Amino acid sequence: MSAMFLTVPPFECAWREDLKFREAGRGCVAFEAFACNDVTLVFRENVGSQGYHYKRDSSPHYTIILGSHRNRRLRIEVNGKTVVDVVGVGLCCSSSFQSYWISIYDGLISIGNGKYPFQDVVFQWLDSCPNCNVQYIGLSSWDKHVKYRNVNVLSLTHTHMPLSKHVVFGDYQVEEELDAADSFNYKHMDYDKWGLKNFLESWDLSDVLFIVGEEQKPVPSHKAILAASGNFPVCSSSFVINIPTVPYPLFHALLHYIYVGWTQIPREQLGSLRALSIQFEVMPLVKQCEETMERLKLDKKWLDTGKNVELTYPSIRPHCSTLPSLPISIHQLKQLKLTGQFSDVSIYIESYGLIAQAHKIVLSLWSIPFARMFTNGMSESVSSEVTLRDVPPEAFRAMLDCLYDGQLHDKVIDSGALLLQLLLLADQFGVTFLQQECCKMLLECLSEDSVCPLLQVVSSIPSCRLIKESLQRRISMNFDYYTSASTDFVLLDETTLVNIIKHPDLTVTSEEKVLNAILMFGMNSKELFGWEVVDALIVNSRPELLFGERLQLVHDLLPFVRFPLLQYSLLEKLQNSNIGQHIPVFQNLVNEAINFVKCGLAGLENEENVRFQHRRSSYKELQYICDGDDHGVLYFAGTSYGEHPWVNPLLAEPRKITITASSPHSRYTDPKVLVSRTYQGTCFAGPRLENGQNCTWWMVDLGQDHQLMCNYYTLRQDGSKAFPRCWNIQGSQEGKSWTNLKVHENDRSVCKPGQFASWPIVGPNALLPFRYFRVVLTGPTTDATNPWNFCICYLELYGYFL
């Protein structure tokens, strides 16, 4: 709460150079105060010194004390002499913040209670010898602390003079605003309830005042919003606009439609509302009034009075008061931003300079932190300049564009780095819709190399919980790749790594991968290595030096390695390793695993211990032995994954896999041949045009429940001499975007009809699981007659199958 109000200690006075009237001798200050007594404001010609107190001030000044004499009186002093001392007026409130306003106009001092300046006047006094030079405002106290907040300085014009002389303006029911402490507790509030409706007829950030009806009802508003929704008689220099012929309820209905997106009006006043909408050129409301009137003419009860009709602006989200759901021209709003018309804040970035001339109301309707900044009574709320620190200029400019038109631009979407910076800014300033859009775009354009860096950023952003969980699960399900392709995972925070290691969907080809990842993370490694490197380093060192502050985390994570699932030969190596001699918990876990392998289950406690259980999503290793063997994935599918003797998997019911070709099915383009295990003299896939080029391929779909980390594959040439020379084997998750697993350029391995040929797949992509695989020609074969026919009669894939 310390950032929400200013506390003035006893016998002190707080001064700010920007807490001043725009015109000397004329101005109004509205504020909230929390005090037992003596809420004191000083009005001087110059800023007071650090040790200033009004009792020692010999220069010309006014002092106004609310709740003097132990909260029993109101006092006004001129140059230190008491000129007003009345009982029971303008008293303080010691249980909560209370709203006040004080205006000075050529010696006329007006004091009022409430949130709305120029209303609820409780006292006025006219100085016969007015000081027309007072300009600076000091916030002071007497013998107890006084807390101030929401301090706003308003300028006065000649049109306020008759207004200020009226104590009573008529009784109108004004909807209570949210308490500031609740409104700006943005970490816990419902952002769906925030929007332009929070500023309807609010003095906060208002820069124009309508004096409505014969009773002179003051109605504050905002020039930028009015200019973007119609043609109101506002200009940069005017503050007060008189419309005495318009009844307040009618004008309120018009503003409610603009600020909230809907309004209610008695049937008999529809014509008047239409006329007012035409006058101010609020064309969406004109159209709706006319349509409603035509519809009601068909109703026999058209002339019934007293019944209201609701007019709602047509939008995707009705009754939502953000820009896309309001009758506000986005184009016109962007023009205001471009020209700076009606701008009330210049935003600077430290070490960069001026970044934009913006409108406080537009920023605040999207962002509660911005609204808080502009209305909390501190320097930003009374100044027309704001300087931001540690903010990337390009990202901030992109955020402003989004705030004015409600959408992300292509330039941002196409730049991952800018999108990430924009996400951080959206979180910093509480722009919820922008956070959601950034998260959505980041997930859509996510690449394998950007997963860990993105997770590193969003882990500290509470509002990105869903994207964080999605990324953690993605790493867990592709653990081998993300811990073997790079060391980016080492930069994750400890909690995130623990969540990944403990994730129920953690998928690994070997528990050795988990052990290696924990040791690399513990050493904060910049290079990839296995446990053998740590075993060699620890001989001449100590765990405290190798792992530093992360040693305890290593101790905590080692029990999540399922050592009993490791091969016995590897367990023996680990048992005799130097790591076990220096890290007791490691040695105990290895010994436990060896005893388990030797003796089996020792008791029910082992059955319930996850360390002795296979992971829910463990891979089955299908290892290449020789050409044409029965250890591959397609053969395994023909046995219903080990359930019965082999049959052609394309003939089995239900079908386990699917194979398709680039050309239509025919006598010599038969997918069953590739998995039949019988030699076929003629079998080929013909070319098709894709993106204007010849493309020939055979594709395998393992089914929606299965994936493969492919590390080997085998082809067999049919009886022709159309030998392939340039082709790729590729993998895909959805069958549309393809990742190259191995690229063959001028490969002469196949040189005889009926020949088998096999190749290993190495590199990081061999650790990525895919559902779809295809072999695709990238160049012509050796057959001059049909160079784009891919002539193979056998295909097999190997690796880790899930």
Average pLDDT over residues 706-715: 93
Q: Are 562 and 611 in contact (CB under 8 A)?
A: yes
Looking at the chain, the whole-number percentage of residues with pLDDT higher than 70 is 89
User: Within 10 Å of residue 10's Cβ, how many Cβ atoms?
Assistant: 12
Confidence of residue 607 (pLDDT cuts 50, 70, 90): very low
pLDDT of amino acid 159: 35
Query: For the residues 384-401, what does the mean pLDDT come to?
Result: 90
Provide the β-strand partners of residue 262. Answer: 312
Q: How many CB atoms lie within 10 A of CB 306?
A: 7
Residue 195 · residue 317 · CB < 8 Å: no
Q: pLDDT averaged over the chain? A: 85
Higher local confidence (pLDDT), 167 or 660: 660
Question: Over the stretch 345-374, which tens digit does the pLDDT of each residue have?
Answer: 999 999 899 999 999 999 988 888 888 888
C-alpha distances in Å from residue 532, one per residue of 519, 558, 661: 10, 16, 46
Of residues 155 and 217, more confidently modeled:
217
Of the pLDDT bands very low, low, confident and very high (cuts 50, 70, 90), residue 321 is: low
* Per-residue pLDDT, 418: 83
Position 216 scores a pLDDT of: 87
The DSSP bridge partners found for residue 713 are 759, 797
CB distance 483 to 489 below 8 Å: yes
Instruction: Report residue 339 CA to chain centroid gap.
Output: 29
pLDDT reported for residue 551: 93
Q: What is the mean pLDDT of residues 609-616?
A: 72
Residue with tokens 């007829």: 201
The model's pLDDT over 475-484, given as tens digits with 9 standing for 90+, comes to 998 898 899 8
Judged by DSSP in three states, 703 sits in coil
Instruction: Flag whether the pTM goes above 0.85.
Output: no
Is 272 exposed, middle or buried, given 0-12, 13-18 or 19+ CB atoms closer than 10 A?
Answer: middle
Say how far apart CA 418 and CA 754 lie, in whole Å: 54
Q: At residue 175, does pLDDT exceed 60?
A: no
